[in-house]
């Protein structure tokens, strides 16, 4: 068995890194350190839905009660055209029932706070301002050098350093360049004293080459994303975000105009959206990738954070029952590769459809959506998301 005193370094204090640290502690590993390039556990992005597959894992690691306090239970995933025609809806309770848990929308700040509070409670160390520059193989150990001149050694290195420039992915795969998927997202988080939402229904509006999604967290709080097909470094990047958003989406549903107008300027961000091509190996020597560093999927997959959480649980369960790290890493990838790749490819497929700018294509896509059997759609989604979860 792998020694529970083995020195474990987790690179990145994002959703995957922090969840893995908590799960490792639960399995009895004692020497866990987290290294994060930022000076605090910042919460990039507005919010996420922790679908039932992720909440099932969070329950296993005793985090669900904290999530329930801040998160909102999602009821429906509705689809609309930009002109306000209803295309159909998935009843989320069907997905929840098939997976055996509940789906919650939560702000990134709240999720990150829950994870860091737990890590601190467990007295696990997060070393902020530790920007990893290089990993060097030293036989039984890996040397890690940081921008601040620190150098450490670890017996097991978990690369949870995200999708954009993962040093762990570079070490494992040599190439770590993310792939721009030809669309941008403006994301925002909104909170008001007045009720904003009458029900916790995700509203997804489809245009042609454009899309706007709104996710309520509770009556007074929610987050949203406006997406548009655009090349990298488009002129809009430099423009006033709110002005651009109102120009593009202001004439869609009145709800969209309302949420954009009420969002504080500093809570709106412009993001060029990347994912990663699947790679055939997630590990090399004593380094194993998890989360976005291994399999970054587009936001249209709705599963990036959820899959990082699933990774954390599988990785730690496998590590705690394996004879060697080599066995553990191989088993981990074997269990996780197909599911994460299918989800990433589904995210690309939906993005290509949503951000297609051909009018005829979009008309046909909406027509198909209107005739979709949403009960079957929910069953298919649940089947994929439930794969390999604990009972
Ligand atoms: C616009 C957008 C919207 C999204 N919306 C959703 C959603 O609604 N639902 C969902 O499930 N997923 C969503 N995702 C995906 C989700 O954010 C990620 O899949 C998830 O955060 C992955 O977790 P992670 O821990 O692997 O990476 P991250 O959360 O990105 O964490 C990586 C961490 O590593 C640190 N790091 C990076 N490089 C270094 C280095 N060299 N040294 C030290 N530290 C380093 C970073 O600072 C960061 O803290 C979205 C993504 C984007 C881009």
Q: What pLDDT, in 10s, does the model give residues 46-73? A: 999 999 999 999 999 999 999 999 999 9
Residue 146 CA: which ligand 1 atom is closest? 42
Q: Tell whether the model's pLDDT for residue 177 goes beyond 70.
A: yes
Q: What pLDDT, in 10s, does the model give residues 331-340? A: 999 999 999 9
What pLDDT, on a 0 to 100 scale, did the predictor assign at position 45? 81
**Cβ of 162 less than 6 Å from ligand 1:** yes
Q: What pLDDT, in 10s, does the model give residues 178-201? A: 999 999 999 999 999 999 999 999
Q: Decide if 23 contacts 58 (C-beta within 8 A).
A: no
Q: Decide if 103 contacts 50 (C-beta within 8 A).
A: yes
Residue at token pair 């051909």: 358
High-pLDDT (> 90) share of the chain, % = 97
How sure is the predictor about 351, in pLDDT bands with cuts at 50, 70 and 90? Answer: very high
Separation of alpha carbons 112 and 110, rounded Å: 5
Average pLDDT (100-112) is 97
Residue at token pair 């762990």: 168
Q: Tell whether the model's pLDDT for residue 363 goes beyond 80.
A: yes
**Cβ of 303 less than 6 Å from ligand 1:** yes
CA 278 vs. chain centroid, Å, equals 16
Cα–Cα nearest to 44, from 270, 340, 261: 270
How sure is the predictor about 41, in pLDDT bands with cuts at 50, 70 and 90? Answer: confident
- Distance (angstroms) between ligand 1 centre and the Cα of 293 equals 9
**Cβ of 92 less than 6 Å from ligand 1:** no
Q: Tell whether the model's pLDDT for residue 312 goes beyond 80.
A: yes
Q: What are the φ and ψ backbone dihedral angles of 133, each rounded to 5 degrees?
A: -105, -35
What pLDDT, on a 0 to 100 scale, did the predictor assign at position 43? 67
- Tell me what the pLDDT averaged over the chain comes to: 97
Evaluate if pTM is beyond 0.75. yes
- Distance (angstroms) between ligand 1 centre and the Cα of 363 equals 34
Q: Tell whether the model's pLDDT for residue 350 goes beyond 80.
A: yes
Average pLDDT (85-106) is 98
**Cβ of 204 less than 6 Å from ligand 1:** no
Which domains does the chain possess?
A: 7-71+106-178+275-349 (3.50.50.60)
Average pLDDT (319-337) is 98
Choosing from 48, 213, 269 the residue with most ligand 1 atoms within 8 A of its CB, the one to mutate for a pocket test is 48
CA distances from 344 to 86, 281, 301 (A): 27, 16, 6
- Give nearest CA residue, ligand 1 atom 49: 14
SS3 string, the chain, reads CCCCCCEEEEECCCHHHHHHHHHHHHCCCCEEEEECCCCCCCCCCCEEEECHHHHHHHHHCCCHHHHHHHCEECCEEEEEECCCCEEEEEEHHHHHHHHCCCCEEEEHHHHHHHHHHHHHHCCCEEECCCCEEEEEEECCEEEEEECCCCEEEECEEEECCCCCCCHHHHHHHCCCCCEEEEEEEEEEEEECCCCCCCCCEEEEEECCCEEEEEEEEECCEEEEEEEEECCCCCHHHHCCHHHHHHHHHCCCCHHHHHHHHHCCHHHEEEEEEEECCCCCCCEECCEEECCHHHHCCCHHHCCHHHHHHHHHHHHHHHHCCCCCHHHHHHHHHHHHHHHHHHHHHHHHHHHHHHCCCCHHHHHHHHHHHHCCCHHHHHHHHHHHHHCCCCC
Residue 303 CA: which ligand 1 atom is closest? 11
Q: Decide if 117 contacts 109 (C-beta within 8 A).
A: no
């Amino acid at each position: 068995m792998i020694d529970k005193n083995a020195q474990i370094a987790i690179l990145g204090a994002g959703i995957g890194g922090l969840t893995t640290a908590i799960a490792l502690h639960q399995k009895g590993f004692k020497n866990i350190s987290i290294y994060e390039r930022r000076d605090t556990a910042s919460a990039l992005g507005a919010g996420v839905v922790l679908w039932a597959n992720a909440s099932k894992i969070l329950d296993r690691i005793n985090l669900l009660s904290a999530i329930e306090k801040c998160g909102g239970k999602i009821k429906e995933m509705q689809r609309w055209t930009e002109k306000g025609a209803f295309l159909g809806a998935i009843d989320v309770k069907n997905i929840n029932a098939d997976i055996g848990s509940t789906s919650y929308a939560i702000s990134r700040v709240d999720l990150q706070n829950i994870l860091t509070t737990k890590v601190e409670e467990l007295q696990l160390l997060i070393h902020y301002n530790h920007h990893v520059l290089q990993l060097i193989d030293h036989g039984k150990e890996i040397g890690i050098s940081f921008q601040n001149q620190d150098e450490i050694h670890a017996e097991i290195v978990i690369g949870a350093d995200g999708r954009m420039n993962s040093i762990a992915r570079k070490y494992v795969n040599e190439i770590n360049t993310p792939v721009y998927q030809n669309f941008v997202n403006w994301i925002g988080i909104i909170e008001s004293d007045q009720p904003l939402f009458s029900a916790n229904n995700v509203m997804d509006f489809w245009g042609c080459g454009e899309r706007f999604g709104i996710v309520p967290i509770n009556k007074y709080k929610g987050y949203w994303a406006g997406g548009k097909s655009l090349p990298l470094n488009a002129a809009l990047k430099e423009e006033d975000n709110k002005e651009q958003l109102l120009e593009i989406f202001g004439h869609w549903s009145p709800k969209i105009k309302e949420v954009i107008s009420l969002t504080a300027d500093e809570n709106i961000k412009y993001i060029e959206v990347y994912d990663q091509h699947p790679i055939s190996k997630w590990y090399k020597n004593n380094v194993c990738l998890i989360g976005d560093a291994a399999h970054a999927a587009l936001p249209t997959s709705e599963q990036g954070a959820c899959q990082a959480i699933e990774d954390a649980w599988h990785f730690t369960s496998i590590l705690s029952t394996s004879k060697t790290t080599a066995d553990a890493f191989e088993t981990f990838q074997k269990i996780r590769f197909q599911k994460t790749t299918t989800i990433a490819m589904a995210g690309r497929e939906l993005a290509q459809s949503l951000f297609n700018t051909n009018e005829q294509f979009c008309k046909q896509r909406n027509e198909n959506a209107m005739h979709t059997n949403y009960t079957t759609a929910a069953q298919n989604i649940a089947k994929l998301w439930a794969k390999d979860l604990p009972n």
